[in-house]
Amino acid sequence: MKKLFSSLLLVVLLLQVFSAAVYAEPGAPIGSCPKSFELHMAMNHDGDHMHKHVGTDTDRNGDGWICVKFVSVDSNIHVHIDNNLPLK
């Protein structure tokens, strides 16, 4: 029994070493935005900005796109949500 457990543990560890993680790269969006939102590429929003982000900058479905809605007259404040609606 100990030999079987050791063999299975070795197989699991080797599978983890030789398997590759797959990360989504910005390509075609897999979801769409609600009305009045625009589709934008998700990007790193670190650093100083002259505008305010409301909502999440997180690309939850991993396709590299988020939905943005400008809510101020000068476009300094905008809302971010993920593009999780079905494609039209």
pLDDT of residue 33: 93
pLDDT over 90, % of the chain: 9
CA distance 20 to 51: 38
Distance CA 82, CA 61 (A): 7
Name the maximum alpha-carbon separation found in the chain: 71
Work out the average pLDDT over 41-53.
67
Whether the model pTM is above 0.85: no
Token duo for residue 38? 């625009």
Tokens of 67: 């939905």
Compute the mean pLDDT over every residue in the chain, rounded to the nearest whole number.
Answer: 79
